[in-house]
Amino acid sequence: MARRLPGIRWAILPALVAVLAACGGSSGGGASKATKTATNGAITIDAFDVHYDIGTIKTAAGPLTVTLDNKGAIDHTFKIEGTPLTLKAGGGKSASGTVTLKPGTYSFECTIPGHAAMGMKGTVIVS
């Protein structure tokens, strides 16, 4: 017959909670969810494995030139939903494109399977 040690459960619980907290939640591995404002109709987004350095982009209506700078080791994309803009950059590479935006709110995400679910997504606010 096995002997139970009920106190062990309570000793392990705080360590387990600490490990889970260190792993982060759905924010894409502790990614910054900063807001950036486009300057002169241009913005640069840094992609890492697997998060962007940005959560919200603010810009004026009209042309927006986006540069995706992939600082990670794996492929990443940047897609603004409802527009033709889709950028793809391999690890250590960059890609740029321009899209014309009307006032409104748009979603953006990495279209590599699973990346958006890990936090590679955000919002573009156009005024």
CATH number at residue 104: 2.60.40.420
Please give the C-alpha separations between residue 91 and each of 32, 57, 125, in angstroms, as whole numbers. Answer: 20, 23, 28
The residue segments making up the domain with residue 114 are 6-126
pLDDT beyond 80 at 45: yes
Per the structure, the count of domains in the chain is: 1
User: Alpha-carbon distance 116 to 26, whole Å?
Assistant: 10
Q: Average pLDDT of 36-47?
A: 97
Q: Average pLDDT of 18-38?
A: 56
Q: Is 44 helix (H, G, I), strand (E, B) or coil?
A: strand
pLDDT digits (tens, 9 = 90+) for 5-17: 555 444 444 443 3
Whether 27 maps to a domain, the answer reads yes
Whether 1 maps to a domain, the answer reads no
Whether 35 maps to a domain, the answer reads yes
Whether 97 maps to a domain, the answer reads yes
Whether 56 maps to a domain, the answer reads yes
φ/ψ (deg, to 5) at 18:
-65, -40
Q: Cβ of 104: how many Cβ atoms within 10 Å?
A: 11
pLDDT beyond 90 at 109: yes
pTM for the complete prediction? 0.75
Confidence band, pLDDT 50/70/90 cuts, at residue 4? low
Q: Strands across the sheet with 121-126, in order?
A: 35-37, 56-59, 121-126, 104-109, 76-80, 86-89
User: Alpha-carbon distance 115 to 119, whole Å?
Assistant: 7
